[in-house]
Chains A and B, each alone.
Chain A
Amino acid sequence: MRAAMSLEITPVAGQSEIAILGTLGLTELDQARRRFGNMTFGRQTRLDLSGLQRLDTAGAWLLLTEQDRLRSEGVELTFASIPPHAVPLIETVRAKRARTETTTRPLLTAHELLERLGRRMVSAGAFLRDLLHYLGVFTARLLGALRRPRGFHLTSLVHHCEEVGLRAVPIVALMAFLIGVVLAYQGATQLRPFGAEIFVVELIAISILRELGILLTAIIVAGRTASAFTAAIGSMKMREEIDAMQTLRIDPANALILPRILALVITLPILGLVADLSGLLGGALMSWAELGISPAMFRTRLIEGVEPIHVVVGLVKAPIFALIIGIVGCRAGMQVGHSAESLGRMTSSAVVTAIFAVIVTDALFSILFAQVGL
């Protein structure tokens, strides 16, 4: 129906009168503009609109824009015989259009770039302070709970232990097992030319117990749990549940943050231990298959050649990692605004931040242990 009616813009009497026939709307905009652009106009031009069957706001906008353009070129374009249906439309568009002058955004100057950099730095500082704040909140609530255990949400703690600990066991165990397999296989290939296959046991044990077991566990937990914390707390924040808690004199830090982070601090070392055992198992199986090192020999070699301190060095990092993951996840949740979009953004930023922070901390630990000679 719309497409059937076409647009015709034709000069009627020389250059002083132009008639528009048919439909002038959004789809005819380009055509009409080109037609107007190609025409020559007399100083006083009448635009006869009586043949206009349909006009929409885009069409009215174009007519008024062309009128302005021609006026700046010294041509007075007047609308004549406006059909009754188009009168209120043209008037409305004329009234509203006056306010819509284009404001083009200027290009970034060096000054603004510098300002932006400065703001980034300040917000990075504020971010670190924020993390410290939540560490403080967690510590204060933990001490409060120790002093007054009745206010502690034990059910919640158990629930979160199951969620972040027990349910992560299969994925963590599988991951560590495969890492053990990979290490054994790679080690065997590299050490065989030297006839030093037997050292593969030390290679597997030390790398898994000291570093890989706990680091990879922490990374998996950061991806799994930091995002879950942010999403859970964030959606409560979004629906004003946290505000509701405060009006009911329930402390959100006590009810939401303390049990979550505490559950993580309790379960992450256990998960690390699971990863250590599972990694050793994977390495032992692969050594047996690939190098013919029997499980009994692997065990003897493990007990004689590997100091127990490596296990301690690995697992002592776990509670620190847990704190970092928990604080980053909970803080991101509390930062969620009222839109679903901010929930998504904070969730992904929580995961990235948590993983990054875990790796940085691990590097710091490495330096520390090297310095003290462990």
Chain B
Amino acid sequence: MNGAEDMVIRIRGLENRFGSHVVHEGLDLDMRRGEVLGVVGGSGTGKSVLLRSIVGLRRPDAGRIAVFGEEMTGIDEHRRAGLAARWGVMFQDGALFSSLTLRENVEVPLRGVEGLDPDTRRALADLKIAMVGLPLDAAETYPAALSGGMRKRAGLARALALDPEIVFLDEPTAGLDPIGASAFDRLMRDLVQALGLSVFLVTHDLDTLYALCDRVAVLAERRVLATGTLDEMLAVEHPWVRDYFHGPRGRAARKTSPNAPQAR
């Protein structure tokens, strides 16, 4: 499993700057095929910036990013579009198109597929809506009428429309109540299993980390400070990492998680 072809994302020496403010410097990160990688870090450590750099919404100031073994910097538009069909992004508040109904939102990526008649497109969109656990009578509603949790699920349905290999989730449980958040965690676990997804998960939520992640990458001091399983994170001697995983919330999440590593 350690061959280079099994690395779906490979980042070397990434640098991101906003004016004189350096967000990333010499950042390295690998993500393997089929794993759920949790990216954590304090506010302002550039978790979202990292996500945006990978999916091409932001041009990094230096460094190399390869997705599916293809260099993303300097790639031509056509190839990039081909790669982009192989990943899906779920934005924080769903980022649904407000002038389209829920079903039309999910149909948007499907419109680009040749030879797909409207009935099939509609059926596939409905399938995706059902797969993320939304009721079908919501399909005709506009995003403004959906609750925050439903908007996130709808954003996920749209991200999954083309059956991507990688899904990027930006704070999927932020703003959800605890019941909704753990329902979302369960949904993601089922989908990862059924669809064989690789997931790049940016989150603050320790419960989500324990429920979903195979590996965790900690962003601090402008780079990836540590990567490893949750078990290994507990042993990292860095003040932020210690506070995060050994703090009261970290302990509580560890205690309640089904696959919790034993405290040492």
Contacts and interface: CB of A to CB of B under 8 A. Distances in A.
Contact of B113 (A27, A61, A99, A339): A27
Given A61-B124, A92-B131, A341-B98, A100 B136 contact: yes
Given A58-B124, A58-B163, A92 B144 contact: no
Contacts of A56: 163, 195
A25 interface: yes
Given A85-B196, A337-B144, A340-B98, A57 B113 contact: no
Contacts of A88: 193-194
A102 B130 contact: no
B130 A57 contact: no
Interface stretch (B73-81, B114-122, B170-178, B216-224): B114-122
A30 to B, nearest CB: 4
Given A26-B162, A29-B120, A338 B130 contact: no
Contacts of B122: 102
Nearest to B86: A2
A2 B98 CA distance: 33
B4 interface: no
A93 interface: yes
Contacts of B193: 88
A342 interface: yes
Interface residues of B, number: 32
Contacts of A93: 127, 131
A131 to B, nearest CB: 25
A100 B163 contact: no
Nearest to A26: B113
A30 B163 contact: no
Contacts of B38: none
B163 A92 contact: no
Nearest to B132: A96
A317 to B, nearest CB: 38
A57 B127 contact: yes
B221 to A, nearest CB: 35
Given A30-B116, A85-B196, A88-B193, A100 B162 contact: no
Given A29-B115, A56-B163, A100-B136, A342 B130 contact: no
A338 B145 CA distance: 9
Interface in A278-305: none
B144 A338 contact: yes
Interface in B119-152: 119-120, 122-124, 126-131, 136, 142-144
Contact of A89 (B98, B128, B195): B195
Nearest to B163: A56
A100 B126 contact: yes
A56 B194 CA distance: 10
B116 A29 contact: yes
A51 to B, nearest CB: 18
B71 interface: no
Interface of B is mostly: helix
A339 B127 contact: no
A97 interface: yes
A97 B127 contact: yes
A158 B120 CA distance: 60
Nearest to A34: B115
Contacts of B68: 1
Contacts of A85: 196
A1 to B, nearest CB: 8
Nearest to A1: B68
Contacts of A96: 127, 130-131
A85 B165 CA distance: 14
Contacts of B61: none
Contact of A100 (B110, B123, B143): B123
B259 interface: no
A65 B195 CA distance: 19
Nearest to B110: A26
B43 interface: no
Nearest to B119: A102
A345 to B, nearest CB: 10
B99 interface: yes
Given A26-B162, A58-B124, A92-B190, A341 B144 contact: yes
A334 to B, nearest CB: 17
A93 B126 CA distance: 11
A26 B193 CA distance: 20
A339 B124 contact: no
Which one of B129, B160, B162 has the highest number of Cβ atoms from chain A below 10 Å of its Cβ?
B162
Contacts of B163: 25-26, 56-58
A99 B196 contact: no
Contacts of B128: 57
B141 to A, nearest CB: 12
A99 B142 CA distance: 21
A27 B86 CA distance: 13
B195 A100 contact: no
A258 B79 CA distance: 57
A105 to B, nearest CB: 9
A31 B136 CA distance: 28
Interface in A12-59: 25-27, 29-31, 56-58
Contacts of B162: 26
A46 B143 CA distance: 44
Interface string B94-113: 00001100000000001001
Sorted nearest first, the 6 A-B pairs with minimum C-beta distance are: A30-B115, A56-B163, A339-B144, A100-B126, A96-B130, A92-B194
15 contacts: A25-B163, A26-B116, A30-B115, A30-B116, A57-B160, A57-B195, A61-B123, A89-B194, A89-B195, A89-B196, A91-B194, A97-B127, A99-B136, A100-B129, A338-B144
